[in-house]
Amino acid sequence: MLIEKDTSELKIGHYVVKIIQQEGNFSLTAAGHIKSNAVINHLKSKSVYRVLIDGSKTLKPTNKKSTLVPTKTSIINSENLKEAQVIFNESKGIQKKLFNDALSGSTLDLSPVIEVTNKSIDAIFNSPDSLACMLNIREKDHYLLEHSVAVSVYITLFARYLGLERNIIEQLSIGAFLHDIGKIKIPNEILNKPGKLTDDEFTIMKTHANHSIDIIKETPGISALSLEVATLHHEKLNGCGYPFQVKGENISLYGRMISICDIFDALTATRVYKKGFAHGKSFAILRELASQNQLDSKLVDQFIKCVGVFPVGSLVQLESNKLALVKVRNDKNPTNPQVHTFYHVKQKHFLDKQEIDLSNSEDSIVKGVRAEEFDLDMNQIVEMLLMEG
């Protein structure tokens, strides 16, 4: 049944067919369900007053909160991993256009951001480890594009783990997706300098936070919460952060969350001038920052549990001198996940793939490692171990 409704009457779950009345010339990419209040706010910001909905396709609201905390570990397979890869690559494409628009001074279009972050959230609800695995095995060739996408995924994973409601998660994901948009205003010789920045250069680098805030404020349809997390991503509990030196209780839960996600991805990411740290060392650094009252110590511990001691898609070295890729987490026994062995460190050659549940094996993990330490190509490893049918 087709029904006309004012935008003020729209609710999550309505299936919008087309726009009936508006002041501008905004057009829908395609008919579809309203998945968040952010979509409704975006329509209002475009001066859309009335739409046509298909009442027969309206989705009934569910108690999202009850479904957020995972009850079991998801299993990665080639299908959901490939879906995650598609979402990740689409996100990078959208991120690239956003940077170009910001550089030219154009107003950002929030519609594709809303659409792709909702895809990410849906994928994470369906298979929590898939997108997290994608972050671990990504090619890591475009840090500026990938970092904001990764932080958006991490805060979604973290918010889901903490049991936050879906509409909150959507706003956090959007804010994280946009949090570093101001970096496009930083001179390239500073942004990608292969070495430590001088004090003057670091002063300039820090202005990216102000640029991000200014750009996001001017984005039609952005929520106050999305702006808040982007604003607070470099603030620290002891007041030593920037750009406003917010401290202590004045930093919200969401600001504390994005700070952890932002630092963790920066630590683990490999760039032209810096190799990323393994997860174990990155976790140790997060805990050290928490001990200095820069990060929230309770949230840091929760984040580590969320990501996992040995996350899916990470590489580990076993007592048997074999390298293995973590395939399935073990939440009851975090140091003994299911792994795929594939390489012998001493003999320096590939092995026939073998799946091992370390909780029922005499073998055990010595440490987390990175492919570069053994002159291995992570893409080749992934193709061999995870992207088989």
CATH number assigned to the domain comprising residue 199: 1.10.3210.10
Residue 91 and residue 149 in contact, taking contact as beta carbons nearer than 8 Å: yes
Could you read off the pLDDT of 134-188 as tens digits, one per residue? 777 665 557 888 999 999 999 999 999 999 999 999 999 999 999 999 999 999 9
| Tens digit of each residue's pLDDT (9 = 90 or more) over 244-268 | 999 999 999 999 999 999 999 999 8
Given 17, 39, 61, the domain boundary residue is: 61
If asked whether residues 117 and 242 sit together in one domain, one would say: yes
Which domain covers residue 55, as residue numbers? 2-61
Q: Are residues 221 and 171 in the same domain?
A: yes
Whether residue 22 sits in one domain with residue 6 = yes
Torsion (CA) 119, 123, 125, 130 in degrees, nearest 10: -150
Of 307, 332, 353, which residue is a domain's last? Answer: 307
Question: How many domains, the chain?
Answer: 3
205, 143: one domain: yes
Decide which of 34 and 298 is more confident. 298
111: Cβ contacts below 8 Å, ≥ 6 apart: 29, 42
- Are 207 and 273 in a shared domain? yes
The values of phi and psi at residue 83, to 5°, are -60, -40
Euclidean distance between CA atoms 260 and 63, whole angstroms: 28
**Mean pLDDT taken over the chain:** 88
Residue 53 shares a structural domain with residue 163: no
Here the tokens at position 330 are 């073990």
Domain closes at, from 35, 61, 87: 61
Alpha carbon distance 299, 253 (integer Å): 9
Using the predicted structure, report yes or no on whether residue 65 has a pLDDT greater than 80: no
What does the angle CA 68 – CA 73 – CA 79 come to, to the nearest 5 degrees? 95
Model pTM score:
0.80
**Average confidence (pLDDT) over 199-213:** 97
**Are the beta carbons of 278 and 271 closer than 8 angstroms?**
no
300 and 342 share one domain: no
